[in-house]
Amino acid sequence: MRIARLAGIEVDRRTQDCLALLDRDAPRDYRELAVLIAREWERKPPARVGLAGGQGAGKSTLGALVESAAKELGLHVCVLSLDDFYLPKRQRRAFAEQNHPIFETRGPPGTHDMTLCAASLAALAETREVRLPVFDKGVDDRVSERVAEGPFDVVMLEGWCVGARAVAESELLEPLNTLEAERDTQGIWRRTVNRALRDEYEPVWDSLDSLVNLGVPSIDAVRRWRTQQEQARPVDRRMNADEIDYFVQHYERITLRMLKDQSRSADWYVRLDEEHRIEAVSVRAR
């Protein structure tokens, strides 16, 4: 197993047997990584895990594979998407009116219901039936609920900014891209994002026992992979290249910061290359 060699992990028969049971349509390196993570959980299950990575990095793919691998090993795992905790469109519009127009666009800290997210994380470890929100990106709104049958041994929260930390406001003075330069001339939006990250998001991150990060190679790769994701959407709901570039600019500052921070702090740091292959794996001793 190539990924096991990259991570310096010895492979036994149980690991190989579990790998053989995973979806063969999924990328081989992601299947291998999922089994290695699940085997670690089998030995010492963390109650809550974060899975971070830039847009298009493969968080949903890895989360589903880890859930499947863990099930084969006898662990009951629930994967939550931070995306499902986006505020409904009506509430985002109201927040934008109170703070800054950019907040109508989902994505950055400030556009999620982190109170509900925190409550859901807690309930999934203790409650038999937990109602969870479902957000439809095609219509850009929360559309329904799903019921998760708990309690779960491990709950994984996957999202692009999971684990991201606020910065000193002095780091926000200079605009990073066209969005910030033209639409946030006074820095109100980015300061509000930073405060939301510190006050609402970091307490949730602090409740996590472990963090997995899929490190993207560049923001250009994020744009390219986000473009590929769009092809899975109905034609009338797809963004064009200019729209994708503008959309990604909302995420750029925090994404670049996370590349520096989480390469040192994540328990599993997985570096991806420009072709979306796993290039390196670093496992922090715990």
pLDDT tens digits, one per residue of 99-122: 999 999 999 999 999 999 999 999
Its sign, for the CA torsion 225, 228, 234, 239, is positive
Give the model's pLDDT for residue 285. Answer: 63
Contact residues for 226 (Cβ-Cβ < 8 A; gap 6+): 55, 56, 244, 247, 248
Name the 3-class secondary structure at 286.
coil
What is the model's pLDDT at position 127?
A: 85
Residues 6+ apart with CB under 8 A from 203: 114, 118
Q: Give the pLDDT band (50/70/90) at residue 284.
A: confident
Residue 264: per-residue pLDDT: 81
HSE-up of 59 (CA within 13 Å, CB side)? 29
Name the CATH code of domain 2-280 (choices 1.10.1040.10, 3.40.50.300, 3.40.50.12500, 3.40.50.720): 3.40.50.300
From residue 93, alpha-carbon distances to 66, 90, 98, 99, 139 in Å are 36, 5, 9, 10, 15
Please, what is the Cα angle at 239 between 236 and 244, to 5 degrees? 175
Mean pLDDT calculated for residue range 236-263: 89
Cβ–Cβ < 8 Å for 19, 73: no
- As a whole-number percent, the residues of the chain with pLDDT over 90 amount to 85
Query: pLDDT, tens digit, for every residue of 37-49?
Result: 999 999 989 999 9
276 and 58 in contact (C-beta within 8 Å)?
Answer: yes
* Average pLDDT over every residue of 67-95: 96
- Mean pLDDT computed over 262-283: 92
Helix (H, G, I), strand (E, B) or coil at 209: coil
Task: Give the model confidence (pLDDT) of 126-143 as tens digits.
Answer: 988 999 999 998 899 999
- Percent share of the chain, pLDDT over 70: 99
| 66-72: average pLDDT | 97
Q: Say what the pLDDT of residue 168 is.
A: 96
Q: What is the mean pLDDT of residues 178-207?
A: 97
- Residue type (1 letter), 196: A
Q: What is the pLDDT of residue 211?
A: 96
The confidence band for 190, taking pLDDT boundaries of 50, 70 and 90, is very high
pLDDT at 112: 98
Residues contacting residue 272 through CB under 8 Å, at least 6 positions apart? 57, 58, 214, 215, 216, 217, 221, 278, 279
- pLDDT tens, residue by residue, 213-226: 999 999 999 999 88
Alpha carbon 221 to its chain centroid, in Å, reads: 16
The span from the CA of 111 to the CA of 196, in Å, is 9
Sign of the C-alpha dihedral computed for residues 142, 145, 149 and 150 taken in this order: positive
121 close to 42: Cβ distance less than 8 angstroms: no
Residue in this structure with the two tokens 């910030």, named with its chain if needed = 180
Residue 263, pLDDT > 60, answer yes
User: Considering the chain, what is the average pLDDT of its residues?
Assistant: 94
Could you give the strand order of the β-sheet that contains 268-272, starting from the edge strand earlier in sequence?
Answer: 77-81, 154-159, 48-53, 210-215, 268-272, 278-283
Q: Name the E strands within 150-193.
A: 154-159
CB 111 within 8 A of CB 87: yes
What CA–CA distance (Å, rounded) separates 42 from 98?
A: 47
pTM of structure: 0.93
